[in-house]
Structure 1
């Protein structure tokens, strides 16, 4: 199957908040409040859960603007996206945008440098286990002074907001696997005051980083 709805919210940050760590629901979130023409949207980023399922996060710095042109050209507001590689949708495992740029630069070509670049840019590299605070501290730091936000995920069914702002594929058998699909991952792409594009991505540790064309783990 897949998410019932998917898209991207384009807007500017009004404020960032953390849920009360002593009073929250099934998941603990950082919340971005994003201004768009229809009003303020609440965007919930999962960073922890009392159920014992670990959350992981990853930052990808210096995204290639040419690969982000389709979404970057969108007007502020909510935009539904088809789950395809040409719509502007993101996919943690398949999207060249989320490889970032080479982490190592060498004037002379070298097989070792090429290998290091491939590792650094791999979607399997750089995942950090969230303690909630470490993930939210990084996200808040990147949000400070940002120019624009692009929040990918599913729209709230009631009110203005975006959830499922995390990887939406690779779930093990269970209550969430029916929502898996490719080219429908959530995440936050932040345009800094200088115009740099950086991605903040999250996943649940049991989600596989190797999936088939239906987004199911292999």
Structure 2
């Protein structure tokens, strides 16, 4: 059974904060506060766990603006998204958007270059083990001076906020696998001045990056 509700909150960053590393709940978060017509949304990004389950993060730069156009056209606020390839939903494995645009450099075709380029754009490449600080340092740096923020995940059950801002499939058997599904991954897309789009993604290390049509690990 996938997440009960999934979508994206769009708006202007008000501030970024870190939880007290010596005083937090079940997970350690960085928190983005996003201004929207309904009020200020708290968006909590998991970067560490007291249980020792490792967290990883990845940055994807130069997202193709054409592939993001429908989401960029949304008004500020919370928007429900269907778990489909055409709704604007994210899927770390399946989204062409999360392979980046590759820039605008023209090169002579070379098989070795093409092979290397595909590896670099693979959803399995570029994951870094989070120490909490390194993930939050990157997120905070990319948010600095941003024009607009798009935070994908599940809404809080009470109050304005978004959680599950991470990979939501590929879990091993256990307490979270029943929430797995495709086209429902969380993440943060940051729009920089000039229109550049950057995604900051997180996952738990035990989650598999090879899944079936139900989001279960293969």
TM range, smaller chain: over 0.9
TM-score (ref. length: structure 1)? 0.98
- Between the two proteins, the alignment pairs up a number of residues equal to 218
1:103–1:120 CA contact under 8 A, matched in 2: no
Where 1:67 maps in the other structure, the secondary structure is coil
CA RMSD of aligned residues (A): 1.0
Distance in 1 between the 2:50 and 2:211 partners?
A: 27
Per-residue CA shift, 1:47-67, capped at 9, x if unaligned?
Answer: 001101000000000000000
TM-score (ref. length: structure 2)? 0.98
> In structure 2, what is the equivalent of residue 148 of structure 1?
148
1:101–1:121 CA contact under 8 A, matched in 2: no
**Deviation of residue 216 (structure 1)?**
0.1
Instruction: Point out where structure 2 has 5 or more consecutive residues left out of the alignment.
Output: none
Distance in 1 between the 2:209 and 2:19 partners?
A: 28
**Deviation of residue 134 (structure 1)?**
0.2
2:58–2:128 CA contact under 8 A, matched in 1: yes
> In structure 2, what is the equivalent of residue 54 of structure 1?
54
**Deviation of residue 143 (structure 1)?**
0.3
> In structure 2, what is the equivalent of residue 31 of structure 1?
31
Where 1:66 maps in the other structure, the secondary structure is coil
Instruction: Point out where structure 1 has 5 or more consecutive residues left out of the alignment.
Output: none
Q: Which runs of 4+ in 1 moved over 3 A?
A: 103-106
2:187–2:202 CA contact under 8 A, matched in 1: yes
2:62–2:103 CA contact under 8 A, matched in 1: no
